[in-house]
Amino acid sequence: MTDGLGEGSWDDRYHVDGAWVNLRLVDENDNTPIFHADHAHLTLPEDTPSGTHLTTFTAQDLDGGGQSKIKYSIAPSSNPGGIFGVTEEGEVRLVGNLDRETASSHTVVVMAADTGVPPRTATATLTIKVTDVNDNPPFLAEPQEVQVVENSEAQLVATVTLGDPDNWRQGHGPPFTLSLDPHAPPLVEASVRVVHDKKGDEGRGVGLVYTVRALDREEGRLMLVPLVVGDAGRRSATVTLTLHVADLNDNPMTPAAKAVTVHTVKGQRKVVPLGRVYVQDPDDWDAAAKTYTWRRPQKGFFLDTTNGHLTMSASTPDGRYELGFLVNDLSQGQVGVEANVTVEVRSLSALDVTSATYLTLAADPYRTVRTDLQIGSSLLQRLTAASRTWIENGLGVMAWVDETSLIEEEEQGAGRSRAPPTTNVWVAAPGVYNLRHLLLYHRPQLAEALGVAVQSPRGCTSGCWASTEMGQSFVVVDANVSSVVGPQVTVRRGCGCAASLPLEEPGCAPRTCLNGGRCIPLKNGFRCICPYGTSGARCKALSRSFEGGEAAAVNQDGGESRSTGSWAWAPSIPACAQVHMSLEVLTASQDAILLYSGSSHTMELPRKKNDSDASSVSGEGELRKNTTTDEAALREDSKEEHVTASEVRGTHGTPSEVVALELRGGRPFLLLDLGGGGVTIALNSSYSIADNTWHRIDVIWKDELVEMIVDLCSGDSVDHIPNPHTGTPPTSLPPDAHICRGAARLPGGARVLNTGQPLQVGGLAHPLPDHVSERWPESRSLPSFRGCLRNLRINRELVDLGGAMLARGSTPGCPEAQCLTSGLICGPHGRCRGSPGWLRCECQQGWTGDDCAKPTTPTSFLVNSYVKLALSFTPLGYTTSMALRFRTKKKRGQLVAVSSQHGQDRLALQLVEGQLCVLLQFRPDPARSLCLSQAQVTDGQWHTVAAIR
């Protein structure tokens, strides 16, 4: 280059100089991966073994010098049922089972994605034609059910034809064979004869079923006839023909009484069905021959005189009603047979219905509601009676049968289901918020009181969610001498992680304000006036103390010893692919259980392979009745001195899903198993958190990574205890990440936690199962936690640790960390913070002083004015929080922003078109924002805002 001075500047060496410019080309992700071959075609029999290698698709990416990593996957839409899989090398394998009868061909789309941002994807296609194998026996085409009138002569009752889903052209179908099962019950052998007609159905073969004697309905209403059927390929099976014995009106009726329990819903207007007026009559198909009349009419009740069905007005008040009727049967010459019906009406609110809990009893619906004459009560009555003993003022416990049980009962009766009979029951207890936990805790005693097995309520599994909705109709189970009526409840399910459900009612409702908070209705919603020790929009209790003690254990005879330790139950961890749990701990105990969710000695645990609150505690510890990844952070050296992360791979039993957070030697210890094998993380940090100061623990799992962080890697208690010599908070640099953070890679397989059990906090209510059968690395018998826990969050949602929790040896609040206990009054504008020995008042925005009673001096900003500050400390890398108080009428503008030194990363609070928004920018990811669309903040009034990430 030359400076251009003078005419011959290029020739004058004093005016010319040179420099080398080195250009380094940075690769850009501008090439899509290329498959060497992008199509393959196979023909496979449907019995191809699982694990068979089908083909290999390999792709290359020109970016990165051809060394870019390729990740292979199969498009979910082309892989229904997940029967195909692809390895990291592009090998496509059969991981499930083919079935030609379900799908005769498959088009599998294999995707190859590079690691660029954003990634580029190429596809290859595997086409599979599935050929037939004679793997299906014949089935009963028609008829499947027939009817014979009782006491009739021997006769032909059915000509049975068969079908076969296999390919008949390959000889996998007719001609069929059919005969009576040689192992048929003696009563069937004595009543039925079966003849095989080879020429029937155009040579396919049929079965002729005859009765050989007169049948009596009073001996049995139906007969299940087992038939052995076979196809030309000698594939055989046993099918069932259901033979109904129709009633002949040959018995007189006698007077009878009936009890009806009705559960109505306040505000519903539909007529409520009550069942049929009952008279004792062995003949049960002669309803058409009977007529019914009132003996003494009752207001609000209605009778269909042709069939005896009773209905009731939905507005009928709660109470007991005695109804009388006369029944006539002219075919028997009977007139005026008395029938009495007692109706007990009990009303529920819509919230009571949708909050009801779900139990399954090992009995059919009619046995569940039918009064046992020897005991004098039904299963349903005994269930409610037992539940009331565990609830103070428990007279409000109600139960009714779910509609699905009636459908299952119909399938049982028709012979279409061989499963043992069960009944799904809804149980409601108005004002009791932890009913599900109460019933789960007392399930063994409940089963003993009923004399039948009681299955625990099971949540939604495999990464889905479930919620209840009230239907518009009622469910009636009529067992002749008794019937139970309840509202229809439907279970709504969906895939993915359930978001936090909004309040059932936008205004004040019984459960709007928690822990005794008083609800004040407002024009646009509500406001809760919270009692001492609670906070937030709904008065949640954010801390809880635990007395400690020994955990329950299993005796040598297999029985359960009574737990003397403390514990509390919180709601289940949602089945989400990404879960973030955090809590703060105050304790001096070196070893204790903090959190646990999984199987126990008396609880059932859903397993993926087979898929599918007593709250307050007395001072003596007695149970009282309820009153109303970063992937790059994984070290290559897994034996790092400070962090131990290991994978648990046992050789016994089926893996159980579990999460357990413990203290061992004052250091956090984590066990996590999502169904594919467990991992453990032990943080051998440089300091113990059992120092009677508040410390925070975060547990996060997402995709294939789980991590645990202590004190957000600040190197200090979350309360920043001051130096005892200077009285000032520490200013030390954050510790090495390997001291305060541990991470581990989860084994392949499932990615969600499906325990279906409560999250047990601070201890265990029941002993843990054998560690060998659960594939745990060691036996776990840590004592219960002694100290305080607070700010328990699950996926950003604060858990209420108040009086509605089922608990023992544990109470809401933390007296040793309360300012009032130490004589420090924070006033209405302050919040008590700190640990024992160093408590202080943290003032709300706009207030200052020791007792937070002095208003701060606000600062006014004119147009285009701002203040720029340089922080004297380094913010934590894992979390940032900002809070301020402002007032304005402007619709746009920036309130506050925090940015990195070069402005690459940024967190800002802004006003955008009148909405309050938070902006988060982490390079190179695009900026993300979150706005409050309903909050009115540009009205010139003072507003307080806090943003936390």
DSSP 180-237: E-TT--HHHHHHEEEEEETTTTTTT-EEEEEE-S---TTT-SEEEEEEEEE-TT--EE
At residue 730, the pLDDT reads 46
Measure the CA–CA gap between 434 and 417, rounded to whole angstroms: 35
Residue 63: pLDDT above 60? yes
Residue 804: pLDDT above 90? no
pLDDT digits (tens, 9 = 90+) for 619-639: 223 333 333 333 333 333 333
Which residue carries 């040579």 as its tokens? Answer: 203
pLDDT digits (tens, 9 = 90+) for 418-462: 557 888 899 998 888 888 888 888 888 899 988 888 886 555 555
| pTM more than 0.75 | no
At residue 933, the pLDDT reads 86
Tokens of 42: 């196979």
> Is the Cβ–Cβ distance between 815 and 586 less than 8 Å?
no
Measure the CA–CA gap between 940 and 285, rounded to whole angstroms: 77
Q: What percentage of the chain carries pLDDT values higher than 90?
A: 33
At residue 177, the pLDDT reads 92
Residue 646: pLDDT above 70? no
pLDDT digits (tens, 9 = 90+) for 548-585: 987 665 554 555 555 578 999 999 898 888 899 999 99
pLDDT digits (tens, 9 = 90+) for 195-215: 999 999 989 999 999 999 988
> Is the Cβ–Cβ distance between 510 and 798 less than 8 Å?
no
Mean per-residue pLDDT over the chain, rounded: 81
Residue 208's φ and ψ, nearest 5 degrees, are -100, 120
Taking residues 207-234, what's their average pLDDT? Answer: 88
Taking residues 725-742, what's their average pLDDT? Answer: 57
- Write out the H or E segment, with its range, that includes residue 158: strand 156-163
Sort strands 741-745 and 543-549 into parallel, antiparallel or unpaired: unpaired
Helix (H, G, I), strand (E, B) or coil at 762: coil
Q: CA geometry: angle at 513 spanning 507 and 517, to 5°?
A: 125
The beta strands (E) that lie in 460-524 are given as 464-478, 482-495, 518-522
Q: How many CB atoms lie within 10 A of CB 856?
A: 13
The b/e string for 819-828 (b: 16+ C-beta within 10 A; e otherwise) is: beeeebebee
Residues with Cβ within 8 Å of 10's Cβ and at least 6 positions away in sequence, in order, are 2, 16
Measure the CA–CA gap between 700 and 661, rounded to whole angstroms: 12
Burial class (CB in 10 A: 0-12, 13-18, 19+), 429: buried
Residue 856: pLDDT above 70? yes
Instruction: Identify the CA nearest to 537 among candidates 569, 503, 504.
Output: 503
Measure the CA–CA gap between 191 and 213, rounded to whole angstroms: 6
> Is the Cβ–Cβ distance between 227 and 415 less than 8 Å?
no
pLDDT digits (tens, 9 = 90+) for 14-26: 778 888 888 877 7
The DSSP secondary-structure symbol of 734 reads P
Instruction: Identify the CA nearest to 499 among candidates 436, 558, 576, 555.
Output: 576
Burial class (CB in 10 A: 0-12, 13-18, 19+), 701: buried
Q: How many CB atoms lie within 10 A of CB 29?
A: 16
- Measured CA to CA in angstroms, residue 167 lies from 100, 101, 163, 567 at distances of 9, 9, 11, 61
> Is the Cβ–Cβ distance between 357 and 457 less than 8 Å?
yes
At residue 638, the pLDDT reads 37
Residue 97: pLDDT above 60? yes
At residue 649, the pLDDT reads 41
Helix (H, G, I), strand (E, B) or coil at 705: strand
Long-range contacts of 1-6 (CB under 8 A, 24+ apart): none
Is there a cis peptide before residue 143, judged by omega within 30 degrees of 0? yes
Measure the CA–CA gap between 669 and 536, rounded to whole angstroms: 31
At residue 630, the pLDDT reads 36
At residue 129, the pLDDT reads 94
Higher model confidence: residue 614 or residue 287?
287
CA-CA-CA-CA torsion sign (305, 311, 316, 317): positive
- Write out the H or E segment, with its range, that includes residue 4: none
* Residue 736 pLDDT level (bands cut at 50, 70, 90): low
Higher model confidence: residue 82 or residue 505?
82
Helix (H, G, I), strand (E, B) or coil at 816: helix
> Is the Cβ–Cβ distance between 617 and 624 less than 8 Å?
yes
At residue 285, the pLDDT reads 58
494, 460, 706, 762 alpha-carbon torsion, rounded to 10°:
140
pLDDT digits (tens, 9 = 90+) for 296-343: 899 999 999 999 999 999 999 999 999 999 999 887 788 899 999 999
Instruction: Identify the CA nearest to 540 among candidates 522, 528, 525.
Output: 528
At residue 771, the pLDDT reads 57
> Is the Cβ–Cβ distance between 490 and 468 less than 8 Å?
yes
Longest CA pairwise span in the chain (Å)? 139
Which residue carries 């609110």 as its tokens? Answer: 349
Residue 534: pLDDT above 80? yes
At residue 117, the pLDDT reads 66
Residue 587: pLDDT above 50? yes
Helix (H, G, I), strand (E, B) or coil at 351: helix
- Which amino acid does the sequence have at 305? T
Q: Look at the chain and count its residues.
A: 949
Alpha helical stretches, state H, 554-668: none
Measure the CA–CA gap between 480 and 487, rounded to whole angstroms: 20
At residue 169, the pLDDT reads 83
Q: How many CB atoms lie within 10 A of CB 925?
A: 10
Measure the CA–CA gap between 28 and 14, rounded to whole angstroms: 42
Instruction: Identify the CA nearest to 656 among candidates 620, 623, 587, 609.
Output: 609
